[in-house]
Amino acid sequence: MMTLISFTVILLIYIQSNRLVFPNNSWTIEEAMLRDGIVYCVTFAIIALISWLSNHEMEKALKRARSSEQALRKQRDIIRSSSR
């Protein structure tokens, strides 16, 4: 997915910088250049990596919490059965 987004951004900037399309750039100081597209793609990639790492760590923490919860249930059941 990231590759598709990066390709699209670079393609759009390439088309714009070669004057194949004429968007309204009256609000910009400088025209977009190919290096801008590369910087955008690197920024998107960093954001995607941080998001993936965060999600990965959350899944690991959830898995640990579930296994701890299951261990506590077993321990509780053992204590209940031995106290009877």
Where are the chain's structural domains?
A: 2-83
CA 43 to chain centre: 11
pLDDT confidence of residue 74: 94
Give the pLDDT confidence score for residue 31 in this predicted structure: 80
C-alpha pair distances (Å), 24 with each of 37, 38, 77, 83: 18, 22, 70, 78
* Average pLDDT rounded to a whole number, residues 51-78: 95
Residue 76 has what pLDDT? 92
Mean pLDDT of the chain: 89
Q: Is the pLDDT of residue 24 over 90?
A: no
Q: What confidence tens digit (pLDDT) does each residue in 37-56 have?
A: 899 999 999 999 999 999 99
